[in-house]
Amino acid sequence: MPVILNRRVCVRVSRMVAVVAIAAVFAIGCSGKKTATEPVTPPLPDVAAGSQEDIIRSARAALERGEGLALQGQWIGARLAFDQAVDLLLSLTGGVQSSPEAQSLYDDLLATIHDTERAALNAQADDAAASEQAESAAVDELTSDALLADLSSDLNESVAASDSPEITYDIPIELNARVRSIIEMFQLRRRDWFQEALDRSGYYAPMIRRVFQEEGIPQDLIYLAMVESAFKSRAVSRAGARGIWQFIQGTGRAYGLRQNFWVDDRFNPEKATRAAARHLKDLYDDLGDWYLVMAAYNSGQRRVERAIRRTGSRDFWVHAKKRVLPRETRSYVPLIIAATVIGKNPESYGFVPSTTAPIEYDVVRLEYAVDLATAAKSAGVALDDMKFLNPELRRWVTPLDADSYPLRIPKGKAEEFRVALAEIPEAERVRFGTHVVRRGDTLSRIASRYGTTIDALTAANNISRRSLIHPGQVLTVPVPPGSGGERIRSVQRREAIAENGESVYVVQRGDTLGEISSAFRMSLQKLRALNGMAPRATRIYPGQTIIVTETAAASLSARRASPAPAPAPSGGATYTVRPGDTLGHIAEEQGVSIATLRRVNGFSNRRTRIYPGQELYLREGTTYAQADAGPTSYRIRSGDTLSRIARRFGVTIEDIRLWNNMSSDHIVAGERLTIRIASGTN
């Protein structure tokens, strides 16, 4: 039962609507990212007082203008047009309830403002987390004012397509002047664009046709995807639509497309195709005409139904001629018809049929999260290839909140992938950032700081939203290593290693004393005491060995109590820095100059900082091979690779693998490798 509003209530509602619309735009403006295509919209002119019919006609025109601007993602212009429509309707004698037409238009206006506000906020949220690989959507370019301005708008003399009698269509095809103008545009000004889109269709066409057949919709609707995205799986429109089929958030969710911190199924070609087929079928069940279905796919079912009520017709061309649909939609349907005509018979229009091979892949179900770089390496492919096969992944890693995730890998590489991945330690299959909790931190504040969400943060740490966190606690932050904030770093499982009968930890770049104490479950005070540090010491250096067990501390105390061996003579090739050493002390002890030490070790003239455990060269021309001739143990440093180590010692990667019984090239900083070198090798 319709609700009758008096004028006072209408004024109050209109003000609320205006505030909501302004709030949506304000939220986008405060995001710090302004839409590049948003024009500077001048104030809309006041409409002179006229008859009731003139006022309603002007309000409808303002509403349709706002709808068109909203379709293009121009939220400010849309809000101004909607505000004008509200003001016009409220100026009617007797208010919006003065006639059924005014009441219906006002109801449509309120619903449209609500939908636009939601779309604006969704676009803002999507843009905040959009992938760097996102590509512009074809529909934005093809329906731009500049591109279509000089095309014929004559909709008369509509005839059935008959360019090639042997070509059949499973949707009605009418070739009027408007459609022929667009065909000519594709042949001339947009020739390269169309050929590239046609070539790209080869990746997905067999899959789309299979899904369409299973869902019972016309095969020719595949060309709707050409106009929407040019078959780019990472396409993003100005209004926030995503993927090959350009779903907005709400419609995507309604058809089962998952959208969260980790995954956006609108970018998944097969899932999105299934959703698009079902959406198109639902629209046809309601509207009964494929041209109206296309129009509704672009501008929304409510707008098409309103156009049907206004014209009394279910003919799209009548709606286009009377301009009761947004300008973009009036161009959108002819674009699909033109693309279908060319796509079904490309040679007749000067194009080459697609020879692109369809995408083929195997699916491996992962029971744990895996870094995409690690997955690519395990499959023996480039990282970009892995991303191309899994475009729905919004992060650099498979979802942490999935018990079993179906990762797509190149066809025929499933077994190789499984074997290679199984050889990688679990802790190294994915890398995250960390955050050391400070006083006053909350999950919300930490999530905001690193551009993530509370749900992602709790999933990464296996905690709930209600879990208590405390200062000094180390949280895993689901962001790529090295991104955002001074406290984020690449995380490796901290493990003590055996060295000369001791259990120690080798400091990595980015480590802090507080993080090490937390990892080995001891207080800072105890850790400092074990390592003979000052009560407030915090400085540590990459490569430094930190005692992390009582046994190691006792062993070190015993060694310190015994007389130290005499330092190596100056004829030695290298020197290992001990606690308390300085460059001057080492130079004097080893019989070399400080200048020589700086030069052979690559130090600047002002550098004097060294740290315990560091290995220094003592002579000109020294190499690792000369310093450690014969079988030796080499401790892997941060940034090392097998090829770099092989070059350093003058051996081959195969030799290193053989000497260390290695099945892969994966190495971990802090571990040791056996290197066998003939005496005198350079």
* pLDDT of amino acid 680: 41
CA–CA separation, 369 vs 135, rounded Å? 27
In a domain, 661, yes or no: yes
pLDDT tens for each residue of 539-552: 777 767 788 775 44
Query: Cα(71)–Cα(590) distance, rounded to whole angstroms?
Result: 76
Domain coverage including residue 550: 497-561
Contact between 667 and 624 (Cβ < 8 Å):
no
Question: What digits encode the pLDDT tens for the residues 461-474?
Answer: 878 888 888 887 87
- Alpha carbon of 539 to those of 158, 491, 510, 528, 654: distances in Å? 81, 19, 11, 11, 39
Q: What is the 3-state secondary structure (H, E, C) of 298-339?
A: HHCHHHHHHHHHHHCCCCHHHHHHHCCCCHHHHHHHHHHHHH
Q: Is the same domain home to 410 and 503? A: no
Q: Residue 53 is which amino acid?
A: E
Determine, yes or no, domain membership for 651: yes
Would 482 be classed as within a structural domain? no
- Of 443, 471, 473, 448, which Cα lies nearest the Cα of 458? 443
Does 621 have pLDDT greater than 60?
no
- Interval 200-228: pLDDT, tens: 999 999 999 999 999 999 999 999 999 99
Q: What pTM, to 2 d.p., does this model score?
A: 0.55
Three-state SS for 259? strand
**Is residue 568's pLDDT more than 60?**
no
Looking at the DSSP bridge assignments, the partners of residue 242 are 236, 247
- CATH code at position 600: 3.10.350.10
Rounded to an integer, what distance in angstroms lies between the CA atom of residue 543 and that of residue 537? 17
Start-end of H helices in 230-289: 249-254, 269-287
Lowest-pLDDT choice from 62-66, 194-198, 249-253, 586-590:
586-590
- On whether residue 483 sits in a domain, the answer given is no
**Number of domains the chain contains:** 7
Q: How many CB atoms are located within 10 Å of the residue 674 CB?
A: 13
Q: What is the pLDDT of residues 117-128, one digit of tens each?
A: 655 655 544 444
Model confidence over 60-95: pLDDT tens digits?
Answer: 888 888 777 776 667 677 778 888 888 888 888 877
Whole-number Å distance between alpha carbons of 143 and 310: 24
Residues 267 and 275: beta-carbon distance below 8 Å = no
Structure tokens at 450: 């690193």
- 203 and 270, same domain (yes or no): yes
Q: Residue 143 domain-assigned?
A: yes
65 sits in which H/E element = helix 52-71
- The pLDDT, as a whole number, for residue 214 is 96
User: Domain check: are 287 and 196 in the same one?
Assistant: yes
Tell me, yes or no, whether 173 and 283 share the same domain: yes
Would you tell me how many other CB atoms lie within 10 Å of the CB of residue 382?
A: 11
263 shares its domain with 121: no
Q: Could you tell me which residues come within 8 angstroms of residue 500 by beta carbon, excluding any fewer than 6 positions away? A: none
- Enclosing H/E stretch for 575: strand 574-576
Write down the pLDDT at residue 231: 95
For residue 473, give both structure tokens. Answer: 């606690």
Final residue of a domain: which of 327, 349, 371? 349
Q: Are residues 287 and 319 in the same domain?
A: yes
